[in-house]
Structure 1
């Protein structure tokens, strides 16, 4: 099982950060893939959302993404599942209980090597392919401020976002946004 892990530095007035991924408006995640049989990299990014399901060859069920490697012809599939985690601001007192619940849940499912300052956003069950990278330029993020207000953030080519909270009269920012792919049991 592969997991997509989000890390970032958030300003002190941001309580939580997560990808805007709703049942009514699912996020499209763009991944770079490599075939595990021939090790050839897929020539373009593939876009997957968590609600789409496709039939797999040989009636083995459904997957979020199905393809045949154009180099070796092997079947590849990915099941994408969204976790309940968000990137929590560890300095905010109200997040302490949520961070502890997250730590316990990660231990239960075998994710031991991810720090509490990061969020495990997606679980990827990959068969015949491996995810190399997530392109976040098309994703919209919800930044939940300590005041309760929610602001939308986008990151084009840069890994930082700056805005101004008119209600509180202060700047909000997310810097050093980064996604990693980690393996766990």
Structure 2
């Protein structure tokens, strides 16, 4: 089993926190089979609130798929409690958002979508269901009378111990 963390980096304008709508957020991932090297051409969604039984029936997993090329059954789990928040203090740095326990596959690309939450402490304002599919987002905080935004969102995967 290999543990791989999804890390993000972004510029936050007048925002204090950015995080996913855990455990219902759909992580859209492109996956690579570690047995034969096949890379999926489709985006696969992985959600912590959904579980699927494995072939053996002894356990269940957040994502289960058979490789189209070699036929190997692979799985991926979101490690419980690994969901993090990106804060104003993290701007300019990569920070772990979630960690996956990978068996036979590894994520190689991430596509953000809707379901993010952005918070402004000063006005106590929360923006729910933020859509980051364009890798940026802009809104207006009526109480503070200023724009808020997320810009230049980047992601990468890092193997962890």
2:26 to 17, 25, 28: 28
1:135 aligns with 2:111: yes
Which residue number corresponds to residue 78 of structure 1?
76
Please tell me whether residue 171 in structure 1 is matched to residue 155 in structure 2.
no
1:181 equivalenced with 2:157 (yes/no): yes
Correspondence for 1:144 among 87, 95, 119: 119
TM-score in terms of structure 2 length: 0.88
TM value normalised by structure 1:
0.77
Whose helix fraction is larger, Structure 1's or Structure 2's?
Answer: 1
SS of the equivalent of 2:16 reads strand
Which one of the candidate residues 113, 116, 120 is aligned to 2:96?
120
Select which of 136, 142, 154 maps to 2:131: 154
Query: Residues 164 and 171 of structure 1 are in contact (CA less than 8 Å); yes or no, is this contact kept in structure 2?
Result: yes
Paired residue for 1:8, among 7, 10, 15?
10
- For the 8 Å contact 1:56–1:62, the answer to whether it is kept is yes
Task: State how far apart, in whole Å, the 2-side matches of 1:3 and 1:74 are.
Answer: 23
1:56 Cα shift?
1.2
Gaps of 5+ in 1: 91-98, 100-114
- How far off is 1:132 after superposition? 0.6
Distance in 2 of aligned mates of 1:57 and 1:34: 20
1:43 deviates by: 2.6
CA contact (8 A) 1:87 1:117 kept: no
More strand by share: 2
Structure 1 runs of 4+ aligned residues shifted over 4 Å read none
Aligned residues: 156
1:94 corresponding residue in structure 2: none
